[in-house]
């Protein structure tokens, strides 16, 4: 299966048609040495360009070197095709100023205002140990082994410079990012990603996804902000609610994905429609109404989340949910207002338990062999 191009104006892995598998990792930087950090970003870029082309992480390869030395690739992707692997990097707020307020790498003045710490949302009880991070890497591929191989090799290359803070596997995409893709389903059994920003909507992407000249520091132009939110879904309780109740909560039909009151999946929800009883067809606290652009000053997101099941919770339930990932031009105007509106009154909250959250500034793409991730920042 084919390779996705690595270089370009934007990083791959954002509008790239969402692959089936995810391995996402957040790192803490453990060195104080700016040059070592920059050196690692250069090495990461080189290795990522190789791996996304289906090659070994290093030049010598998993088995090409001398027997006395550890190989420069870990080997588990030998013989596997590129599997549409994309590797996308982001910088967290704490890279610019750590928890103690220290400007460790001399870049605090370049921190974009849009990279403001996310506010607390009503009902959140987040686990700090799996939230935040100085750097993130999102690896998506159609083969989970290829995605894990990519993350593992970047962690190996970063030894002594970064340490893994948390990581998340995802097994099924919960969005489509291209009109050529069928809409997948999340673990509530509903189509997810119907009303998403799509690769083909160039105008909308300029307006809602890519950082534009003048938005903030120049190094982010062409980049995008990533918000992740790990949301446990209490599927056992959901599965005991009626079909009608489930559809009311989401605001769409479970089978077709059509908005309530409409028949086609891609018809626009009518927020003003009222039924024979005079009640809104789309319930006041339904997810689709509360997340809809008309409820949030026109705000839109490019969602790129994944289903997860991390085993079970020891109480007879699956530890299952949605690893929500969304890209946008400015989280203060997009994710934050939408999440506020959902936190306040989404009927779905009864079945959700958010456990982690993170924000990263994903710089623009690398343009060629001498360019590297974050070159314009450092
Ligand atoms: C739409 C599920 C969390 C933002 C939808 C749809 C479903 C869904 C089934 C309808 C299909 C579609 O248009 O994609 C879920 C589940 C969640 C979750 C199960 C949690 C586990 C979130 C979060 C946000 C969000 C955290 C953002 C803060 C949206 C948006 C839409 C949407 C913007 C499109 C609304 C529209 O324009 O019609 N979601 N969602 N969702 N969701 Fe969620």
pLDDT digits (tens, 9 = 90+) for 170-217: 999 999 999 999 999 999 999 999 999 999 999 999 999 999 999 999
Q: How far is the CA of 116 from the centre of ligand 1 (A)?
A: 23
Whose C-alpha lies nearest to ligand 1, atom 25?
291
Whose C-alpha lies nearest to ligand 1, atom 28?
339
Whose C-alpha lies nearest to ligand 1, atom 2?
192
Q: Is the pLDDT of residue 1 over 90?
A: no
Whose C-alpha lies nearest to ligand 1, atom 27?
339
Q: How far is the CA of 39 from the centre of ligand 1 (A)?
A: 39
Closest CA to 51 of 69, 33, 76: 76
- Predicted confidence at residue 68, as pLDDT, reads 96
Is the pTM higher than 0.95? The answer reads yes
Whose C-alpha lies nearest to ligand 1, atom 39?
192
Q: How far is the CA of 194 from the centre of ligand 1 (A)?
A: 9
- Domains annotated for the chain, with CATH where assigned, are 1-91+132-170 (3.30.70), 93-131+179-365 (no CATH)
235 burial via Cβ count (<10 Å: 0-12, 13-18, 19+)? middle
Are 86 and 147 within 8 A, CB to CB?
no
Exposure on the CB side of residue 50, measured as CA atoms within 13 A? 21
Is the ipTM value over 0.90, yes or no? yes
129 burial via Cβ count (<10 Å: 0-12, 13-18, 19+)? exposed
Name the residue of 184, 191, 226, 288 to mutate for ligand 1: max ligand atoms within 8 A of Cβ.
Answer: 288
Q: How far is the CA of 175 from the centre of ligand 1 (A)?
A: 9
- Predicted confidence at residue 270, as pLDDT, reads 96
Q: What is the pLDDT of residues 65-103, one digit of tens each?
A: 999 999 999 999 999 999 999 999 999 999 999 989 999
97 burial via Cβ count (<10 Å: 0-12, 13-18, 19+)? middle
């Amino acid at each position: 299966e084919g390779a996705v191009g690595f270089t370009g104006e934007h990083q791959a892995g954002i509008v790239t048609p969402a692959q089936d598998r995810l391995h996402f990792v957040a790192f803490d930087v453990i060195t104080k040495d700016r040059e070592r950090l920059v050196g690692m970003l250069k090495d990461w870029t080189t290795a990522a360009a190789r791996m996304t082309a289906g090659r070994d992480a290093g030049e010598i390869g998993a088995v090409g070197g001398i027997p006395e030395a550890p190989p420069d690739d870990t080997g588990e992707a030998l013989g596997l095709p590129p599997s549409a692997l994309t590797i996308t990097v982001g910088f967290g707020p704490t890279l610019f100023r750590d928890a103690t307020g220290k400007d460790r790498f001399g870049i605090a003045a370049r921190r974009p205002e849009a990279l403001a710490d996310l506010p607390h949302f009503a009902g959140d009880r987040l686990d700090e140990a799996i939230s935040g991070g100085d750097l993130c890497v999102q690896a998506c591929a159609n083969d989970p082994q290829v995605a894990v191989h990519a993350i593992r090799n970047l962690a190996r290359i970063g030894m002594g410079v970064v340490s893994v803070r948390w990581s998340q596997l995802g097994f099924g995409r919960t969005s489509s990012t291209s009109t050529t893709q069928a809409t997948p389903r999340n673990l509530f059994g509903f189509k997810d990603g119907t009303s998403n920003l799509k690769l083909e909507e160039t105008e909308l992407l300029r307006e809602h996804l890519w950082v534009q000249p003048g938005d903030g520091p120049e190094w982010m132009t062409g980049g995008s902000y990533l918000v992740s939110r790990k949301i446990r879904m209490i599927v056992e309780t959901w599965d005991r609610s009626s079909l009608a109740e489930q559809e009311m909560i989401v605001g769409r039909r479970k089978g077709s994905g059509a908005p309530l009151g409409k028949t086609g999946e891609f018809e626009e929800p009518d927020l003003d429609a009222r039924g024979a009883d005079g009640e809104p067809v789309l319930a006041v606290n339904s997810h689709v109404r509360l997340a809809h652009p008309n409820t949030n000053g026109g705000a839109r997101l490019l969602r790129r989340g994944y289903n997860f099941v991390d085993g079970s919770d020891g109480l007879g339930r699956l530890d299952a949910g949605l690893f929500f990932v969304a890209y946008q031009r400015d989280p203060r105007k997009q994710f934050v207002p939408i999440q506020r509106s959902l936190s306040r009154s989404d009927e779905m909250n009864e079945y959700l338990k958010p456990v982690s959250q993170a924000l990263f500034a994903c710089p623009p793409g690398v343009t060629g062999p001498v360019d590297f991730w974050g070159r314009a920042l450092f």
